[in-house]
Structure 1
Amino acid sequence: MSTLNLLRLLLLAAIWGASFLFMRLAVPALGPAWLIFSRVALGALFLLAVTLVLRQPTVWRGHRRHFLLLGLLNTALPFLLFAYAARVLPASLLSILNASAPIWGAVITALLQRTLPAWRVQLGLLLGLCGVAVLASSGAMALPAGAGLAVVAGLIAPFCYALASSYAKEPPSVPALANAHGSMWAATLLALPLLPVVPAAGPVTTGALLAVLALGVLCSGVAYLLYFRLVDELGAAAALTVTYLIPVFGVLWGVLFLDERIGGNTLAGGALVLLGTALVTGLSLRQFRGAR
């Protein structure tokens, strides 16, 4: 891997790790619905501008159903669930729960194929489950009342990512940028009906608006562009190693900017989740080093 691509990978992990920090900062003022609508709408506008500048096709015609399904599973629903969980859970814990997406993917694949996964995958699933149990235990952090539902929401969100990945294994022939652009607009439409039902939580501050701007433009728009560039340069398998780096930055930003305290149980649970994810995905250093 070239130095430039390594820097891109680290930057992408830092940006996506910061998304949990920004959600924690914005959700007390905006609430989950307004936060996610603002995020995906800003991301959609940013990607529209990129599409126009690069003169790329939008290919919306004939793919509306595809974009709606992708926008629901890969964007609107998981973003909303993480925003709900961010009202209670620390950013560091959210970023670790997010890393369980490949574990959910292995479960979905096994159910669809009606076969037992390989022993390595089974061990990864067991370690991931143990890691989640450690993280959710009462001794993992001093969590407030109602944290149980927030943890469940934080686990369903990566499950949605896994469903989207399973669907995307045989997607229509749509370019990557068009997929990101179309699904972001679909997520905006899906989030719109929630606004009158789930009002903003409190007075909107300048800090909350800046956090939403960062979520929409940086964590949604710029991050997508970085990710697609890495896929083009390295291939999908090597680009997905960002999964293992996001919790590192998520924990780091939480400690530095939110004064979150990281206990031994959090570190142990996070390590188990990441190790289980590595086993499930079959992470190979040889494959990573050999990326073109």
Structure 2
Amino acid sequence: MSTANLLRLIFLAAIWGGSFLFMRIAAPVLGAAVLIEYRVLFASLFLAVIAVVLKQPLNLRKHWKHYFILGLFNSALPFLMFAFAARTLSASLLAVLNATTPLWGTLIAAVLTRQMVGGKVMLGLVLGACGVALLVGFDHVSAKPGAGLAIAAVLFASFNYGIASNYAKSVKDVEPLSNAHGSMWASTLLVLPVVPFFPAPGEPSIGIMGAVIALGVLCSGIAYLIYFRLIRDVGPSSALTVTFLSPLFGILWGTLFLGETVGWYTIVGAAIVIAGTALVTGFRPHFGPLRKAKTV
């Protein structure tokens, strides 16, 4: 992996770790529905500009159903669940629980293929469950009213990501940018009918709207572009490293900007979840020697 790609990987992890910070800031004021409608709309507009510049049409007549399925499970439902949970849970806890996504993806794949998982994968699943139990059991936030429902919402969001990842593997003829672009517009349409039933509880300040724009443009639009670039340059296996790095940044941003408490259970629980995820995915980093990026 070149130095440039390593920096992209770290930057991507920092961005996705920051998404929990931005949701934690904006969700109590805007509510889940309004916040996510803004998020996917801003992401859609940003990706539309990129698609025009790169001349990548969506081909809606052929792929509109695919965009709606992907938009439902990869954006609309999980984003709403995370935004709902962000009104109660800490950014650190949100980030670590999100790392269970590969665990859910593996379980769903095993059910779909009707194949038993191996011993190493089973150990990883058990470790992941133990890490979540440790976090939930010791984190003082989990004692707050409504925390149980919020934790269930986050795990359901990660479950939906698992569905989306397995579904996306079955679709081979859609470009990555079109997947992101089309699914964001589909998410915008899917979330819109929910907004009137869950109006914003407060008036957003300039800072709140800044967090919303960051969620849409930075954490959704730009993050997708970086991720697709990494997949092209270093392959999906090395790009998967972001799964292990983003919880660390989620904890860091929550501590630095929100004053969240990081106890021993946060560090140990995160380490157990990440170790379990590594076992489940069979992750083996192949970075190779660092190389300086060529200048043009």
- 2:288 corresponds to: 289
| AA matched with 2:164 | A
- 1:135 corresponds to: 135
Change (3 A) 1:290 1:121: farther
- The offset of 1:290, in angstroms, is 8.4
Contact 1:59 1:174 in 2 (8 A): no
The separation in 2 between residues aligned to 1:180 and 1:77, in whole angstroms, is 15
User: What is the CA deviation profile of residues 122-154 of structure 1, one whole-angstrom value per residue up to 9, with x for unaligned ones?
Assistant: 0000000101111111x2224411100000011
User: What is the CA deviation profile of residues 228-256 of structure 1, one whole-angstrom value per residue up to 9, with x for unaligned ones?
Assistant: 11011011111111000000100000000
Contact 2:20 2:95 in 1 (8 A): yes
| 1:156-235 aligned within 5 A | 156-235=156-235
Q: Which runs of 5+ in 2 are unaligned?
A: 292-296
The separation in 2 between residues aligned to 1:228 and 1:80, in whole angstroms, is 24
User: What is the CA deviation profile of residues 3-38 of structure 1, one whole-angstrom value per residue up to 9, with x for unaligned ones?
Assistant: 000000000000000000000110111100000000
Contact 2:12 2:226 in 1 (8 A): yes
SS of 2:157 mapped into structure 1? helix
Q: TM-score, normalised by structure 2?
A: 0.95
- 1:279 corresponds to: 279
Change (3 A) 1:224 1:72: same
Q: TM-score, normalised by structure 1?
A: 0.97
The separation in 1 between residues aligned to 2:102 and 2:216, in whole angstroms, is 24
- 1:7 corresponds to: 7
Contact 1:130 1:272 in 2 (8 A): yes
SS of 2:204 mapped into structure 1? coil
The separation in 2 between residues aligned to 1:116 and 1:141, in whole angstroms, is 37
- 1:16 corresponds to: 16
| 1:1-292 aligned within 5 A | 1-137=1-137, 139-143=138-142, 144-285=144-285, 287-289=286-288
- The offset of 1:61, in angstroms, is 1.7
Q: Which moved more, 1:2-11 or 1:110-119?
A: 110-119
- The offset of 1:104, in angstroms, is 0.5
The separation in 2 between residues aligned to 1:141 and 1:9, in whole angstroms, is 32
| AA matched with 1:150 | A
- The offset of 1:115, in angstroms, is 2.4
The separation in 2 between residues aligned to 1:149 and 1:206, in whole angstroms, is 30
Change (3 A) 1:150 1:291: farther
Change (3 A) 1:288 1:112: farther
Contact 1:141 1:266 in 2 (8 A): no
Please report the RMSD computed on the Cα atoms of aligned residues, expressed in angstroms: 1.4
Contact 2:89 2:141 in 1 (8 A): no
SS of 1:116 mapped into structure 2? coil
Q: Which runs of 5+ in 1 are unaligned?
A: none
- The offset of 1:288, in angstroms, is 4.0
Contact 2:141 2:147 in 1 (8 A): no
Identity %, equivalent residues: 56
Contact 1:235 1:291 in 2 (8 A): no
| AA matched with 2:40 | V
How many residue pairs align between the two structures? 290
Contact 1:29 1:205 in 2 (8 A): no
